[in-house]
Amino acid sequence: MHNPHVEKHFQATETVRDVVIGMSDGLTVPFALAAGLTGTAVATSKLVVIAGLAEIAAGSIAMGLGGYLAARTDRDHYESERQRETRETIELPQKERDEVAEVFRDFGMSEEDIKPVVAAISADQKRWVDFMMRFELGFEEPDPARARNSAATIAVSYVVGGLVPLSSYMLMDDLHSALLASVVVTLIALFVFGFVKGRLTGISPLRGGMQTVVIGGLASAAAFGLARWIS
């Protein structure tokens, strides 16, 4: 008796992308703000926390809105191209049939085999347009809830990421101790984040964690240096 072969493919790439966008910015921007404020004459832990929370609120809204608009743009573009393809199947049917045939020629099929396939596809307009959208233009139909889900995922990820570097300031009164703890906690969070992302996307978790630490650490250091230079 043979066990059935089940192929496992990761299906949540868009969600992971949104989490990466929100979490990476959430870990670096509030950290840079908190670090930049540390050491200034007027800085206190309470002031850093208040400023950090205000930045997290504004940043999560801005990032979420950006994700929403990007997803809506993708959806609108898809719908526009679909309407154009639908018109062309009505106004230029032979041209569209030739384009279907060309897709199969690229796979090495003979003209004799192509003709019945083209006839079967073009017999149903929806199926015809679906085929052209996917194989001629390379479009997959976007999820109608994609814009809303993207905005929520990015915003929540930003908030979660932003609270990590601020947590030490919430628990400690000494600013320099809080900064040191913030650095350590942020680097650990970056590694865990990269490790989990690696597990989900199929790359080496250790490699994913180290890459995220290096890239996120460099981004945080650059943001920290700029914030301190300005302050």
| Rounded Cα distance, 160 and 21, in Å | 12
Note the pLDDT of residue 11.
47
**pTM of whole model > 0.85?**
no
| Rounded Cα distance, 152 and 21, in Å | 12
Place of tokens 């719908």: 79
| Rounded Cα distance, 169 and 183, in Å | 11
Radius of gyration of the chain measured on its C-alpha atoms = 25
**pLDDT of 5 strictly over 50:** no
Note the pLDDT of residue 145.
86
pLDDT band for 223, please (50, 70, 90 cuts): low
Query: What does the chain come to in residues?
Result: 231
pLDDT band for 59, please (50, 70, 90 cuts): very high
pLDDT band for 42, please (50, 70, 90 cuts): low
